[in-house]
Structure 1
Amino acid sequence: MINEKECTKILNGGTVKFSKDEVKMIRDLLIQLATIEYEEYKENIKIKKLENERDLLQAG
């Protein structure tokens, strides 16, 4: 995970400059989105594993 200092450096590298509070809100939002995406990824892996097990049982 990237720290607030690095986030500020990256976000303020362009023409738009963000306040410390804005950087924190953006960082928190990105962390929440990444968490959601990771949880969905884990769920899809579980589903694929169950489908593979089902297919093996049906074939056998």
Structure 2
Amino acid sequence: MENAKEQAIRNAVASARMEGLHPTEKDIALIRDFINKKITREEFVASVLADVKEAS
């Protein structure tokens, strides 16, 4: 049986792709860090918002 955390990561990536997004390796690493509790929800959101600000 596969690891539930790895399945959660694959689900998050698949969900993003269904929305027409293309998650990068950096995005996947960020999701992995959040799922594995290496970063908090606040750190996750801050990182995503920083990427959005940088891209605009």
TM-score by length of 2: 0.34
Give the helix-richer structure, 1 or 2. Answer: 1
When Rg is computed on C-alpha atoms for both structures, the one with the higher figure is: 1
